Amino acid sequence: MSSTRIHADERLEQWAEAGLRGASIAVADALSILTDESIPLLPLIHAAGRVRERHFGRDVLIHQLHNVQSGACPEDCGYCGQSQSSDAPIQAYRLHSREEILAEAQRARDNGAYRYCMVLSGRGPSDEEIDHMAGCIREVKDRFGLRTCLSAGLLDEAKARRLADAGLDRLNHNLNTSEQHYGEICTTHTFADRLNTLAAARAAGLDLCSGLIVGMGEGFEDLIDVAYRLREFEVPSIPVNFLVPIPGNRVREAALAGRPITPQLALRVLCLFRFVNPRAEVRIGAGREGHLRSMQALALHPANSLFVDGYLLTRGSNTRDTIAMIIDAGFEVRLDGAWPDELARFVAQLKGGGSAAFDIDHSGEVIRDDRKRVRNARLGAGAMGAELTIEGAAT
Ligand code: SF4
């Protein structure tokens, strides 16, 4: 074994040891995860996976996003199709009614969601919007027992308290990028405004959820800066989104340190966040399907949660495909309550394997063509984006 490889193995062991204790790695080590090709990817993922398993076992938490108000936002966030600066042809709508929000929450619960995340476009909610959301949060919790998370832009402590009093569990407010890079993506509010919102939510007793969007033209140092900021804040939930380029937005090319985001680079980013924030719920956010592609299952080693059924403005893979990926990779879907019947049957079939797995409607289709005497079995056109066709003579 070469000395370079021995050196890399020792470093990975040190990082894993630190993470198992809940300690962070040094900034220079974080940089080398992204830049040092002598650190091999699979051993890196394995080391990050050890840390994840220590703090979260093999569980994967499923979140479902619901945009409860879309578009017409006066802010100019360059990555967002709802911004006044975007020409993206999105569907704009006013704040959803109580009935619409409850129906969506029920769908999320029936899809096996552990947490129901509501997102409002705009700079920040008015008093009336806070009242409306507070009422919805109370009902979602009472009727469906779901944990709730709200993303509502900038908030002061008084508004955060009204949401906390209604039973909101968590406030999402992403830092998105570093302080240095912030002016490149938005000019209508500042990085300090974002930090103040996190501080207000914490003072009101809300759990924090805050992450970033990777690939908005930032450098590696910017990414690392965000990872340590979130650690300073002891943020327990970190969504790591990868920019989904939307035509019409100001920021429309996904690039990190001048490079395209390959699946390997995306995996390194997730490992970096695991090693800097070992005890945090690291979530694979938007862009999972496009940037990780066939490597999505590997991302479950550093990360321990994900979204299903799409993001705010873009589609994602569906719940069944995602659940199949999780189970096939040897992880468990974490639910607080019982599985909805249909999903419970689906999961049992997946775990049963063998011929039962071919009864699952999304993954099995056997076509007999007597004329050609050819049997085609098409397997798994799912979350991995893979389609395997087996052709052979019919028996
Ligand atoms: S404040 Fe929110 S909705 Fe408005 S442009 Fe920025 S990210 Fe989009």
The 10s digit of each residue's pLDDT in 160-193 is: 999 999 999 999 999 999 999 999 999 999 999 9
Residue of minimum CA distance from atom 3 in ligand 1: 121
User: How confident is residue 361, by pLDDT bands cut at 50, 70 and 90?
Assistant: low
**pLDDT, the chain, mean:** 85
User: Over the stretch 60-112, which tens digit does the pLDDT of each residue have?
Assistant: 988 877 888 777 788 888 988 888 878 777 777 788 889 999 998 888 887 77
**Is residue 348 over pLDDT 90?**
no
Q: Same domain for 236 and 271?
A: yes
Residues 44 and 71 in one domain: no
* 385 or 264, which is more confident: 264
Is the domain of 19 the same as that of 107?
A: no
Task: Write down the pLDDT at residue 82.
Answer: 83
- Confidence band, pLDDT 50/70/90 cuts, at residue 288: very high
Q: Residue 342: its pLDDT value, please?
A: 78
**Same structural domain, 31 and 179:** no
Residue with CA at minimum distance from ligand 1 atom 5: 83
97 contacts 208 by C-beta, under 8 angstroms? no
Query: For residues 383 and 33, what is the distance between their CA atoms, to the nearest angstrom?
Result: 27
CA distances from 145 to 105, 138, 162, 335 (A): 10, 10, 20, 11
pLDDT digits (tens, 9 = 90+) for 222-274: 999 999 999 999 999 999 999 998 888 888 889 999 999 999 999 999 999 99
Question: In sequence order, what DSSP letters do the residues of 366-394 get, joined into one string?
Answer: EEEETTTTEEEEEE--STT---EEEEEE-
* 352: in domain: no
Its domain, for residue 393, covers 363-395
Number of domains forming the structure of the chain: 3
**Does 128 share its domain with 202?**
yes
Give the E-state strand segments of the chain in sequence order: 59-69, 115-120, 147-151, 170-172, 207-209, 212-214, 237-242, 255-256, 259-260, 281-284, 305-308, 332-334, 364-369, 374-379, 388-393
Q: Is 237 in the pocket of ligand 1 (CB under 6 A)?
A: no
Nearest CA-CA partner of 148 in 249, 269, 63: 63
Whether 181 and 288 share a structural domain: yes
Using most ligand atoms within 8 A of CB, pick from 67, 68, 77 the residue to mutate for ligand 1: 77
Task: For residues 68 and 217, state if they share a domain.
Answer: yes
**How many helices (DSSP H) and strands (DSSP E) are in the chain?**
12, 15
Is 80 near ligand 1, meaning CB less than 6 Å away? Answer: yes
In a domain, 355, yes or no: no
Establish if 108 belongs to a structural domain.
Answer: yes
* Residue 280 maps to a domain: yes
349 CB-contact burial (10 Å; exposed 0-12 / middle 13-18 / buried 19+): middle
- Whether residue 81 is found in the same domain as residue 17: no
Indicate if 383 and 238 belong to the same structural domain.
no
Q: Is there a domain that residue 351 lies in?
A: no
What are the residue numbers of the active site?
73, 77, 80, 117, 149, 209, 283
Protein residue with its CA nearest to atom 6 in ligand 1:
77
Please determine, for residue 308, whether its predicted confidence score (pLDDT) is greater than 50. yes
In a domain, 348, yes or no: no
Does residue 83 have its Cβ closer than 6 Å to ligand 1? yes
pLDDT value, residue 315? 53
Confirm or reject: Cβ of 82 under 6 Å from ligand 1: yes
